[in-house]
Copies of this chain bind each other. A is one copy, B any other.
Amino acid sequence: MTAHPRFEPEPWCVRESALDLDTLAQAESIFALANGHLGLRGNFDEGEPYGVPGTYVNGLYELRPLPYAEAGYGYPESGQAIVNVTNGKLVRLLLDDEPFDVRYGQLRSHERVLDMRAGTLTRDVHWVSPAGQAARIRSVRLVSFTHRAVAGISYEVEAIDDMARVVVQSELVANEPLPMSERDPRAAAVLASPLVSEDHGCRGLAAVELVHHMAASGLRLAAAMDHTVEGPADTLVNAESEPDAGRVTVTTVLGAGQRLRIVKLLAYGWSSLRSRRALRDQVVAALTAARHSGWDGLLDEQREYLDDFWDRAGVEVEGDPEIEQAARFALFHVLQAGARAEGRAIPAKGLTGTGYDGHAFWDTEMFVLPVLIHSFPKAAADALRWRHGTLPIARERASTLGLHGAAFPWRTIAGQECSGYWPAGTAAFHVNADIADAVIRYVDATADDEFERDVGLELLVETARLWCSLGHHDGQGCFRIPGVTGPDEYSALADDNVYTNLMAQQNLLAAADAAERHGEKAGALGVEQRDVEAWRAAAGAMFVPYDDGLGVHPQSNCFTGYSLWDFEATRPDQYPLFLHFPYFDLYRKQVVKQADLVLAMHVRGDAFTDEQKARNFAYYEPLTVRDSSLSAATQAVMAAETGHLELAYHYLRETSLVDLHDLHDNTGNGLHLAALAGGWSALVAGFGGFRAGKGALAFAPRLPTPLRRLAFHLQYRDRCVRVVVTPGEASYVLRSGDPIEVTHHGEPLVVSTKEPVTRPIPRLAPLPRLGQPPGRGVARRHLTGDE
């Protein structure tokens, strides 16, 4: 955790004004550029020094064996792991034969700026070589939103004082060495050199292509680069290639004040089917299209794409510039992760690092998609189409497990279960209801009937079938789901997890409703009337445990009878707990890693009374250690709903700044996409009090003391809703679309494009301050009037 924020708060940029070699990896994740298909970590152009070098194409994976000390039926035998593919970011510079390296010579200035409106990463360097030769270097990097396969780098070097001999080597490098990972050395060995060369060659003097395949998965990858060079007349350009490397060398002599500029275009493609030749042609074609747009054209298209996005998804925050920056940073990276994924997953780290092996989990559906659904719904639909495309694998997995319908994996790249610890993997069946939840939200937000019929219905039906085989009606007729793991990873294999049961209930009802709306298609999927009746019966009889003595919902049946974790005896250096205590003990005590029952209260708020929400929130707050980054956002939302506004504000900061402040000390492995997305939810669902469902939009806005104004835009059924909240009032207006009824703190209003409708915000009675577990108190920013 860095003591002081490294990145100054600016509304639309993330700026690093000085270089810190100790936190390179964090900056590489922060400055990662991606479009959902191709991702480049913010490594230096010259390749070294680095924290973690990284270039990723979404969906490409290598297989690694999953070993077990004691194997068991149904355990996955191999896992999929994201691959650091051919690095095309490399542009090395020699100045009078001395390599440009920030560790040598004098770095007069070094600034990097991520511009979230331009969609570029800009670097400005003023460097003096050990021999005293001074140069300015400016590089601008983008991963194109409009050209899915393409990235580009504009690299400019200027001699300052003297004439300088300059050599620029622009490279493609496969199998670059990676820093040692802490994990099982066998796994690291497999992934150390995953790329097997198939083909390589140059086209002309400035273009190179490399084709590889993965040794175990067999997937094929092509990478290509092409260059445009502007420099003095005698500038020489030459290309060469070998199996694992391509190089275009530009040689010239610059007079003082003279510049050399190279525009490097990159294209990547991969396939499990297409031939070496076809794939090589594909990347060459992508480069040709990009050249046609030209560098300036790429920049213009990029800005236009982002202007449109910010127009639809804008967030404005007054009173905490860090939060405004962080909210936009979150939206920008969510967009980067999902914009052009198109049939591939949105991994937990996006395409910013290799954390979690590049796997996608349930948090995509529960944290990331809610943001996309109301800001860039097309990408949310694509993410769900990816799930739909993996239905055959999920059906087979259900069958392997002796279940009906589809069982989606706990973690995966291509759809196969890659979890090597089933009590916290396979047993966490809620992922299926989470996917259903995203379908329900998306269809509600878009009224996309075609999507529901062609994609959503089957997802709902297959997951409903799963729940019917996972649960049973007990002797009293209640529908029970024993032995599953809910969101809280410090509990496992518990009976009747409230979150799981309520989400399954919603899943079952939505499947029944959708099947009735699309009778013909449902019939084609084998749905019969008795199935629909069984789903409704299970949902209607769903058991939700309640502790009458304490007046709270146990997270799972019996949970509130367990002994409390001994927080007093737990030292600060023993967090996260799972690195210092056995699962055995965590599972049998009242200690919560991440919001579970509290998440149920957010996403199934209809199943709780206000009093229950208040009591439950107060009960779980001192039990929740937030060893997962997936907790603070949900706590922010429910703290706001239950009136703990200042606490919600602190949680908003915790989730929003998770990466900019490196709060979990692992941003270097990639960004915490769900936590960032949760920052948006903390603002919009928390302080905006936004809830949607069944065609209705509700708001219950209320700001915490530090915030003076919050404005946000929401996409909803071909409308763009703009909400502006101040401490005293809220106003609603449509920026586009037909009038719609919403509620403001329960009061119905009709909102249109004509003029904003403004309502006062009801006052709130002060509440006693809630505590977190000893040693795990939320970081409280100093406030003038603290809660």
Contacts and interface: CB of A to CB of B under 8 A. Distances in A.
Contacts of A575: none
Contacts of A419: 69-70
B67 A483 contact: no
A776 to B, nearest CB: 18
B584 A184 contact: no
Interface string A622-650: 00000000000000000000000000000
A584 B480 CA distance: 15
A584 B475 contact: no
A196 interface: no
Contact of A475 (B75, B493, B549): B549
Interface residues of A, number: 51
A74 interface: yes
Interface stretch (A129-137, A557-565, A608-616): A557-565
B73 A583 contact: yes
A421 B70 contact: yes
Nearest to A582: B74
A422 interface: yes
A752 interface: no
Contacts of A427: 584
A420 B68 contact: yes
A73 B578 contact: yes
B584 A70 contact: no
Contact of A401 (B72, B74, B579, B585): B585
A495 interface: yes
Contacts of A557: 558
B474 A561 contact: yes
A489 to B, nearest CB: 11
A255 interface: no
A478 to B, nearest CB: 9
Contacts of A71: 184
Nearest to A495: B558
Contact of A72 (B66, B558, B578): B578
A579 B579 CA distance: 31
Given A582-B422, A584-B426, A561 B475 contact: yes
Contacts of A453: none
Interface in A458-474: 472, 474
A177 interface: no
Given A71-B184, A426-B582, 4 more contacts: A73-B581, A74-B584, A493-B587, A558-B558
20 contacts: A66-B69, A69-B79, A69-B419, A70-B421, A72-B583, A73-B580, A73-B583, A400-B582, A401-B584, A402-B582, A423-B493, A426-B584, A427-B584, A474-B561, A475-B561, A482-B558, A482-B561, A484-B588, A492-B493, A495-B588
Interface of A: 66-76, 79, 184, 186, 400-403, 419-423, 426-427, 472, 474-475, 480, 482-484, 492-493, 495, 549, 557-558, 561-563, 578-585, 587-588
